[in-house]
Amino acid sequence: MTATLARRQQALVRALVAGGPVPAGFDPAAVAAAGEVCRHKRDAHSAAVTRRRRWYRAWR
């Protein structure tokens, strides 16, 4: 992977999940929508892990 590609990917991921600026060449509305989906998915996964831990402790 070239350093340029790595920097571009890093900028896109930052825009998707950390609210960073949208890189040139991307539709800001599409990046915002995809970022919202990524954040929702991450939050849902975190909540599910917490529920499983509680359930397992109660089950033991």
**Per-residue model confidence as pLDDT tens digits over 16-53:** 988 899 999 999 999 999 999 988 888 888 877 777 78
pLDDT class for 57, splitting at 50, 70, 90?
confident
- The answer to whether the CB of 16 falls within 8 A of the CB of 31 is yes
Confidence of residue 6 (pLDDT cuts 50, 70, 90): very high
Residues 36 and 18: their CA atoms lie apart, in Å, by 10
pLDDT-derived band of residue 7, with 50, 70 and 90 as boundaries? very high
Q: Tell me: pLDDT of 11 over 90.
A: yes
56 pLDDT band, cuts 50/70/90, is confident
Token readout for 56 is 């397992």
Copy the structure tokens of residue 17. 């999940």
